[in-house]
Amino acid sequence: MLLIRFFGGKGGVGKTTLAAAFAVARAGAGRRTLLVSTDPAHSLGDALGGELGEEPRAVAPLLWAAEISGEAQARRRIAEITTDAEQALPREVLPAVRRHLARATESPGTVESALLDRLTELVEQVGDRWDDLVVDSAPTGHMLRLLSLPALLAPWIEGLARQRTKARDADRMVAGLLGRAEEQPDPLLERLHARRARLEAVRSRLAAEALVHLVLVPEHLPLTETLRAAETVAETGLRLGQVIVNRVVPETETGVLARRRAQQDEVLARLAVRFDEPDLVRVPLLPGTLTGRQGLGELAEVLREAGFDP
């Protein structure tokens, strides 16, 4: 069975270490596992104890990891679009097109769209190159925008393709009147059609195979964000997996930590109203920071004991 799992939540709730621990466990079970971070403030390399880059690199037996930069992907995508434009557009308009594309490189929409393209490439490799894909997502709002992009971009790209087709039809009519009716390939139109098809395919695959695990700590602000995110995940057409409540203070604690339990119990009670008990995983507050293969392996065992069953 192939797995695609997203771990998301408010910054600082521990989603990176939980995603890494899950990936370590999957690789330990004999699964070819790819773990990627789409968070601009990457900390996945720190959790794994090594430096990571854009391309997956082996960090343990059957485990590969990468930190994807939306800006780097946007620059690569703009370069491809520029090449297509140079082949498809009149020479006199190219300087203006190049200036526009250069400005677009740094825009949030371009960055997120390019990041989605890279994520699509990785999803397409699940079942061939990888058995499992585990994504350490950007903070909740960024993650939800990324996951909603396939549904938003497909109709927009279809509109661009229709406009390009109309322009090509007009060019062909003029060429026919002038006796130059030779059909020329249109790489820009071909790329639009190909991208729309890929977006529709990845949207269908994520809806069928992916689960989104929201991570929070038992405090009021992360609770509010998690409840909103759970509704939005359903609106994107994706399925919500188990919700992980991290750093739960055990009842045996005394002193300062014991005084936090009143707020914690209130948060847990509200979560229990929204989510069925099997869908709510409580991970206890652990001493120290669990990083590296050994520490993440210990955290994976804690997750399993807490009832995390993806």
Catalytic residue IDs: 39
**SS3 state of residue 8:** strand
* Distance from C-alpha of 55 to C-alpha of 70, rounded to nearest angstrom: 13
Count Cα neighbours of 135 within 13 Å in the Cβ-side half-sphere. 31
* Distance from C-alpha of 23 to C-alpha of 37, rounded to nearest angstrom: 12
For residues 301 and 21, is the Cβ–Cβ distance under 8 A?
Answer: no
Spell out the residues 6+ positions from residue 85 whose beta carbon is closer than 8 angstroms to its own.
94, 97, 98, 101, 188
160: number of Cβ within 10 Å: 15
Question: Tokens for 16?
Answer: 């990176």
For residues 219 and 268, is the Cβ–Cβ distance under 8 A?
Answer: no
Burial of 55 (0-12, 13-18, 19+ CB in 10 A): exposed
208: Cα separation from own chain's centroid: 16
Q: Which residue has the tokens 């799992």?
A: 5
* Distance from C-alpha of 279 to C-alpha of 219, rounded to nearest angstrom: 18
* Distance from C-alpha of 195 to C-alpha of 123, rounded to nearest angstrom: 15
* Distance from C-alpha of 28 to C-alpha of 130, rounded to nearest angstrom: 14
Question: What is the number of residues in the chain?
Answer: 310
38: Cα separation from own chain's centroid: 6
Question: Tokens for 256?
Answer: 């300062």
